[in-house]
């Protein structure tokens, strides 16, 4: 990957944001994609206490939520967002915390995405008063870590962009919440990586399942905590440095969704697909009304909901909640939601510039984005 492409995708992903937003009003979605008579969710602006862009959000429950962003910033609430406390990790003032994993009011992990040793993992066990540096990538610009996700408070996984010289993805995993060790991922294609846009290019489910999405429109899937991986193609176009699959989520071991597009475009593209076989095959849905690219998406479910669905699936009970499960997608150009995994879309009016979304329950979620903005969404 040449330096110009690295700069475009890794450091200045926002270069395409203004273009996407300008094209929002002019772009037209595929006919018949919007549901017309659906009750809109309530959205409430909240005050984060920072003006730094926030790129990831992780709820523990309806009260405790963490978010993270640029210039070493994190924010946390313990009252559902009525008040937020902002802080900066000492020694990380220039880093970009593009992912956060909240465990409790006191415990959280932060992933800094950046070239070489600017990629790091920190952990707090006292609500941010102190931070432990757990991992620092080699001081080599080929390394750039993107996202992480956790199965339990102590078990997690993260990955970096592929390294052309070796054809490898530098993946690492922790099994004790302290030390991170290398794991093997599928071979990287030329200039293949992931988008460190919303902290959702890696997803985990239950105790063992994981998925990774890439710029070359591939999905990697594991069912044994990352010991072995399979690679599958998706129908979302990618491979240009600004296009591909940005985000992934699964509600059980079979049913999942991905979002993407091209952040340098002002058009609404094929940007959403779903799987019903654990990620082996993917099918495009009507386009979500989000110009450019979908940076982040989430099911309106709590962690306990997802665990219950996995347990039901393992017992052979199937997908009883399929029609009721909502998905919210967001990107610099706009946001939308669906009740049927992309068959019909409902735009969120006047909501743009939010990079990530996550839910504490089927009712309460948060979007975070530019200028330290936080928006609570309630169904």
Q: CA 287 to CA 374: how far, in whole Å? A: 25
Mean pLDDT over 52-67 rounds to 98
Give the three-state DSSP class for 117. Answer: helix
For 339-366, the pLDDT digits (tens) are: 999 999 999 999 999 999 999 999 999 9
- Supply the pLDDT for residue 72: 98
Domain that holds residue 61: 3-378
- Supply the pLDDT for residue 324: 61
Domain with residue 273: its CATH number is: 2.130.10.10
- Supply the pLDDT for residue 15: 41
- The mean pLDDT value of the chain amounts to 90
- Supply the pLDDT for residue 23: 41
Q: Which residues pair with 181 in a beta bridge?
A: 173
Which pairs with CB-CB distance under 8 Å and at least 24 residues apart come from 61-64? Answer: 61/302, 61/360, 61/361, 62/360, 62/361, 62/363, 62/364, 64/102, 64/104, 64/105
pLDDT at 187 over 50: yes
Confirm if 40 and 83 have CB atoms less than 8 A apart.
no
For 111-156, the pLDDT digits (tens) are: 999 999 999 999 999 999 999 999 999 999 999 999 999 999 999 9
pLDDT at 251 over 50: yes
* CA angle in degrees (0–180, nearest 5) for 101-102-107: 115
pLDDT at 5 over 70: no
pLDDT band at 32, cuts 50/70/90? Answer: very low
- Supply the pLDDT for residue 302: 79
- Supply the pLDDT for residue 325: 86
pLDDT band at 18, cuts 50/70/90? Answer: very low
Total domains in the chain come to: 1
* CA angle in degrees (0–180, nearest 5) for 353-355-361: 115
Nearest to 54 by CA among 29, 36, 73, 35: 73
pLDDT at 3 over 80: no
- Supply the pLDDT for residue 35: 55
For 277-299, the pLDDT digits (tens) are: 999 999 999 999 999 999 999 99
Q: What is the pTM of this model?
A: 0.90
């Amino acid at each position: 990957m040449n330096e110009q492409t690295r700069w475009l995708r890794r450091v200045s992903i926002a270069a395409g944001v203004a273009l996407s937003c300008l094209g929002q009003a002019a772009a037209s979605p595929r006919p018949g994609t919007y549901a017309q008579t659906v009750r809109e969710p309530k959205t409430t602006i909240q005050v984060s206490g920072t003006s730094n862009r926030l790129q990831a959000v992780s709820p523990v429950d309806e009260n405790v939520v963490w978010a993270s962003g640029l210039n070493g910033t994190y924010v946390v609430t313990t009252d559902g967002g009525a008040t937020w406390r902002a802080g900066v990790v000492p020694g990380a003032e220039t880093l970009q915390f593009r992912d956060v994993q909240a465990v409790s009011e006191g415990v959280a992990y932060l992933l800094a995405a950046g070239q070489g040793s600017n990629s790091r993992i920190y952990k707090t066990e006292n609500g941010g008063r102190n931070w432990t540096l757990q991992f620092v990538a080699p001081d080599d610009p080929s390394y750039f870590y993107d996202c992480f996700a956790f199965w339990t408070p102590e078990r997690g996984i993260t990955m970096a962009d592929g390294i052309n010289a070796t054809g490898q993805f530098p993946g690492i995993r922790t099994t004790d919440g302290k030390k991170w060790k290398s794991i093997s991922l599928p071979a990287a294609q030329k200039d293949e990586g992931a988008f460190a846009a919303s902290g959702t290019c890696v997803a985990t489910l239950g105790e063992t399942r994981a998925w990774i999405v890439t710029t070359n429109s591939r999905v990697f899937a594991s069912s044994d905590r990352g010991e072995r991986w399979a690679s599958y193609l998706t129908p979302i176009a990618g491979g240009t440095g600004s296009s591909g699959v940005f985000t992934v989520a699964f509600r059980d071991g079979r049913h999942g969704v991905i979002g993407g597009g091209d952040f340098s475009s002002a058009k609404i593209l094929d940007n959403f697909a779903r799987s019903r076989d654990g990620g082996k095959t993917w099918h495009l849905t009507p386009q979500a009304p989000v110009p450019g690219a979908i940076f982040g998406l989430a099911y309106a479910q709590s962690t306990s909901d997802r665990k219950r669905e996995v347990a039901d699936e393992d017992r052979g009970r199937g997908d009883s909640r399929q029609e009721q499960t909502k998905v919210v997608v967001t990107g610099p150009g706009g946001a939308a939601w669906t009740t049927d995994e992309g068959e019909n879309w409902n735009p969120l009016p006047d909501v743009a510039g939010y990079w990530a979304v996550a839910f504490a329950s089927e009712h309460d979620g948060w979007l975070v984005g530019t200028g330290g903005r936080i928006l609570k969404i309630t169904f």
